[in-house]
Amino acid sequence: MAMLSRVTSEIYGLLGSATLLGLAAGGYTYAAMWPASRLFGPALTAPPRPGELALTFDDGPNPACTPRLLDVLASHGVRAAFFHVGRYAQAEPLLVRRIAEAGHVIGNHSWSHPNLAFTSAADVREQLVRTSDTLAQIVGQPVRYFRPPFGGRRPYVLRVARELGMTPVLWNAITNDWSEPSADRIAQSHMRKIHRNQRRGYATTIVLHDGGHLVLNANRDPSVTAADLLISLCKHTHKFVSLDEWNRPG
């Protein structure tokens, strides 16, 4: 009986340890990956200005789709933020320069799009420094914004970004536009999120993708068309703003 009691106690102890490890892993995943989490540090998402929208695009520059997107934005007079993968920017400097010259914000999206929540400290710094240096050389000015790939971050990632003079940027509206073939479904999904955020009293930071982190010339035509639809649906009821309007001192 005593032996059975000891075995039972050890089993419960192991189960308890496993439960604690599971809770710790779940807590880390939430803090590192959930856009609304601030457990690992602050980030710019969307202020309490429910009539405003910020369009942001990830994973470019993409010569297959970004030029048409720039034409769409220009036709509506809307400025956006483009978070570039460094290796693509290095391959397409003229396109990056065109984006900047059109008045859009240029952001750092790492060099090769790893999940920085699980990347070594040395590699995190190299990913951010190399990308910022490349973009600054192309556009002739420092990079002021950073979006972690997949949203993955930890305190060190955010600290390095701020040491480099960048504001981390997350979001409160995203869809699977990288795999959804219907531009209308992408746009309608974002409209629901915009209305949800508005009911809660907040602006909306929209994430779409003009590129794909696995290949340079990814097909992002549905995302480009969805951006056009969204602007058309919202331009008479909302104000499209640049991230700079939300990130002014004071």
Active-site amino acid positions: 58, 209
User: CA 18, 20, 23, 25 torsion: positive or negative?
Assistant: negative
Contact of 69 with 58, CB cutoff 8 Å: no
Say how far apart CA 227 and CA 188 lie, in whole Å: 11
Q: Is 107 helix (H, G, I), strand (E, B) or coil?
A: strand
CB 116 within 8 A of CB 43: no
Q: In b/e form, how buried is each residue of 160-175, taking b as 16+ CB within 10 angstroms?
A: bbeebebbbbbbbbbb
Query: Rounded CA gap, 121 and 123, in Å?
Result: 5
φ, ψ of residue 137 to 5 degrees: the values are -65, -35
Within 8 A by CB and 6+ apart from 100, the residues are 106, 138, 139
86 Cβ neighbours under 8 A, 6+ residues apart: 108, 109, 110, 111, 112, 127, 130, 131, 134, 135
